[in-house]
Amino acid sequence: MRAPARLIVVEDDAAFQDLFRAALEPAPGIELLGLFDRGASAIEALKKLVPDVLLVDLGLPDMSGLEVIRACAATHPECEMMVITVFGDEQHILQSIEAGATGYLLKDAMPEDLAAQIHALRAGGSPISPVIARQLLSRYSTPRPEVKDDAAQLSERECEVLRLVAKGYTFPEIARLLDISAHSVMTYVKRSYRKLHVNSKTEAVYEARKMGLLRD
């Protein structure tokens, strides 16, 4: 018999905390290791606990859930990570995938059998809310406009900034990491937009990665 899935939940909303407890504590094959309402406390717990599955909200009071995902991926690379959130926009979805999430469920479309979704995730599946799946399919099935040659002229600094954007860092965080001003970060990003012929961070990262301009 397979060992129970050891689970950590990071969620600050009391109503959803109760929902998760009711759905998961009595579920066969699941061991709830801990439920945390702050990202920092979850990251600290990950130094001692060894989860098989992480469920995490993106809108935590003290940090983005993306930071928890990155911390978990760094310390527990075998752990499966699933986002459960109210954010259904493209940027949050792609940033979560970039950080390491393999499942993405919207709170307003929560499946009744959450335990089954966790078992599916652990078995190698990728539970995704239907509206999210449709959004992703629509994006990648839509022909992209041809990118002109000047995109290949992205400077090393512009590529460096885009790499950090792809990892989910904010502009102020990037400025601190690179020891430059936030204004300089914006300048590099805007130059990248112009060269790649795009209008958003998500599109810039997608195009640059597609062309092989970003190194992980």
The domains found in the chain, sorted by start residue, are: 5-140 (3.40.50.2300), 149-210 (1.10.10.10)
Query: Position of tokens 């652990």?
Result: 122
CA distances from 36 to 2, 169, 171, 204 (A): 26, 23, 27, 34
**CB neighbours of residue 164 within 10 Å:** 18
Residue 61 CA to residue 50 CA, distance in Å, equals 24
Note down pLDDT in tens along the chain; length 216 residues.
568 999 999 999 999 999 999 999 999 999 999 999 999 999 999 999 999 999 999 999 999 999 999 999 999 988 999 999 998 888 888 888 888 898 899 988 777 789 999 998 888 888 888 877 776 666 655 555 554 455 557 888 888 888 888 887 888 888 888 888 888 888 888 888 888 888 777 778 788 877 777 755
